[in-house]
Copies of this chain bind each other. A is one copy, B any other.
């Protein structure tokens, strides 16, 4: 068996004299993880679609099934576990040694996590390509109002409620309240796209508000984190964040014309393969990096890049080419979100969960109603589906978990409060897709009811094609869908 050691060393595709023996195992583990992710995303997405629900819900749920909560096929090393079934499988089938397993597991986790992050970056880039800056600006004031109300109400209600009803100290209550602020732009935009509602007025307001409240959430984070560290607010830091965030977004818009002209000029000059996607990705990745570097989220940079390139006449061809890339990378994000979700916090047999469940019920109610009311503050938009706007803002995600992460790391959150925040993030994430499906009815699923709802306002919106949600080529995310070969 000594020989096996030498042979295993022969597998790396890019082996060099100094490379470790494990790189082929990392590749094998990544390949198997991707197979698991793709199987889960297709099974979940198709089933969800068959029940008239947005496919992304099925991807999240099947992510939970293959993840840390159930099957342990897709588990990440930062979760504190030693291994997962894929690593065990590799030990059995491909001669991975137990000594090397931990390193391979860590590398596999890292690679899949980065692929998931690239997936959501590509998703937001694609959403940007499908959005129109002028349409977004047209609802800019409404979106800002929705965003501000949707940050202030849940934050205040959550903080005050936790202090008065549950006797929580001010600082942890503020942390939990802050975790209620920011909408998950990835989930909400994907569902809107799947429902064919991204370019509706409601969709544009939700998208604009989600971008703005992401920025607000990051500013709240800065305030809360400096409060927790020093007991006082670091005003200069907050001012810096506000200026850099506004500067970034306004700068991207202002220089957009320059960027998109340069992009077209460069793409026209290129004569080798990838003449559109490569310059587009260079731009998107630079913007994502800049957003991250000034302490915004990378996805906001990718969204801004998509918005800028939407203005060019290369848009249609670029959209068409980005679709398969998004199809490959985006499911990795949603399945990974599901896989990292530990449903163990919902187990009432654990005492801290029981206390957490009560607080979670409160936080979830605040999370839902604090966002649903935002739709009713929209003004000057007669006939708009106010409920849909509020529901579109419900999903929390990344930013809520970041508050949790910081709160845990500085040790101010109790176990029950931690569990309650996780439950709030899980439930708002998983509730939003089916709720959005209900408040954005199409004629097939809800029939007459939908028309009644739409008509009560006196301004009927264009009714979607009955098959929109079920059809791959009518998908609004896929406006230029090439016809299938069959």
Contact = CB atoms under 8 A, between A and B. Distances in A.
Contacts of A12: 398, 402, 405
Interface string A1-38: 01100111111111111111001101110111011001
B16 A401 contact: yes
A107 interface: yes
A110 B107 contact: yes
Given A13-B120, A295-B7, A482 B482 contact: yes
Interface in A316-334: 316-317, 320-328, 331
Interface string A314-357: 11110011111111100100001100100000000000000000
Interface string A59-93: 00000000000000000001110000000000001
B3 A234 contact: yes
Contacts of A234: 3
Nearest to A318: B485
A271 to B, nearest CB: 6
A19 B331 contact: no
A222 interface: yes
Interface stretch (A42-50, A361-369, A434-442): A42-50
Q: How many copies does the complex hold?
A: 2
Given A3-B237, A11-B297, A298-B13, A94 B292 contact: yes
A442 to B, nearest CB: 15
B15 A94 contact: no
Given A274-B42, A405-B16, A3 B229 contact: yes
A263 interface: no
A405 B120 CA distance: 37
A459 interface: no
A273 interface: yes
B477 A273 contact: yes
Interface residues on A, range: 35 or more
Contact of A470 (B271, B317, B320): B271
A442 B471 CA distance: 45
A80 B18 contact: yes
A110 B229 contact: no
Most chain B CB within 10 A, of A110, A281, A320, is at A110
A171 to B, nearest CB: 14
A460 B295 CA distance: 63
Contacts of A35: 282, 285-286, 289
Nearest to A337: B14
Interface string A272-308: 1111111101100110110011010111000000000
A229 B49 CA distance: 57
A472 B271 contact: yes
A89 to B, nearest CB: 10
A477 B31 CA distance: 25
A27 B111 contact: no
A134 interface: no
A91 to B, nearest CB: 12
A148 interface: no
A39 interface: yes
A42 B234 CA distance: 44
A160 interface: no
Contacts of A250: none
Contact of A225 (B6, B117, B288): B6
A242 interface: no
B229 A2 contact: yes
A404 interface: yes
A428 to B, nearest CB: 16
A327 B273 contact: yes
A313 interface: yes
A236 to B, nearest CB: 10
A340 B281 CA distance: 23
Contact of A328 (B325, B336, B340, B418): B325
Contacts of A24: 292, 298
A341 to B, nearest CB: 9
A19 B78 contact: yes
Contacts of A485: 313-317
A17 B418 contact: yes
Interface in A183-223: 218, 221-222
Name the 3 nearest CB pairs between A and B, nearest first.
A274-B327, A317-B485, A321-B324
Given A39-B282, A42-B274, 10 more contacts: A6-B229, A6-B410, A9-B406, A10-B406, A17-B422, A18-B80, A49-B272, A93-B293, A268-B486, A277-B324
